[in-house]
Structure 1
């Protein structure tokens, strides 16, 4: 592998044949040496899952100047781990994941295989960005977000990111994106998450469904608001999930519990 250009590792959770990952490669290919290690089939909703009950296999399927592509039998996190352990000759300068068919705003970040790969890179202090588009269609139009993907990638290659901080970047399904907004993760939860799809003689079959209900509607700093109003949403995301504010109060509460035991 060339050491003259930045090394960019690309993966996703929609699988190697998804249009989104091909578009991502197209958008950033001039910016470095690209190595793709992606699941051999869709792994949507896999979060930070690992494959621990069977071996994981990878195979090179394409090699061009500046671009090498592998398929992997594991999850997006497996792809990043295996790339670092068995494929690359050094850690990548940047990990990109996506472009996901469907957004990963709000609490979706906790379920997302796209962001699972990003978080795996972030844990290892490798700058990482997850890209998603609010369009589940297999033939989705990714072109409106192309210039933003390139510029954000260039920005992170040049400036890096703080340790244990990654970027969750979502784009609306629009013909023209109004611009970018740095956002907070929308707070809320999912409702009506299951839809019955009975089979013959058995009604206990369900499809995952549902809709996201924001805790605070119209919150202009949230990623959901930005997307609903035509903006790309950039949410800086921490791997460290410690609640430092509540930790001080909890420390006092725990100390009180111990004092009661002594009495």
Structure 2
């Protein structure tokens, strides 16, 4: 999620405050912020009021305290009050930012397991992409979010970190276009928390551990920051690999070269 103008400044300020929350229960804080974001999305009148620059900041803070007092922690409430006192470019940016900060808090709660968390989120994404029945069930508008969450829970329970399961369930809330898009965004946030970039690597055959290590080191040197690899095996590539980092694409796949040759022969 890319914010602009006042919203970008507000998000940066709130992120600094979240990072400074020493000793906080980050998992619980994440739940608080995600829950507050959900309420603001569900109540457009409340959302418009607390983002209205014509309304005094202290009045907006007082209203937020009335709505959320006793429902979220004191630390979570302080962050939400701080958020409504800031300027926002659009009304939806407030809820989106609170959700993003909630995801950051959940990621940070994984501590030393943050690399495992990123790998597990990618594995869940691959599972959803590979299983058409699961993908259909998770996108079925006639099924409740609770039902979908129970389905995911039955698949992930005892196999992943608690943070992974929480973010997988959060992906069902509809703030992103699809579950896969949400999970992809959460992977990027998890990498950003560790000051990493995410490289999507598509290969015809799985890479060995030494190949992965060499590729990771080469990309890290090229981009000047650590790079987390998400490797997917796609036999249709025939050979070679395709690497995507942000807007950059490095395509050394055989299928791409064959397509190139066909175009030249046809042209």
Q: Same fold (TM over 0.5)?
A: no
More helix by share: 2
**TM-score normalised by structure 1 residue count:** 0.27
- Determine which structure has the larger strand proportion and give its number: 1
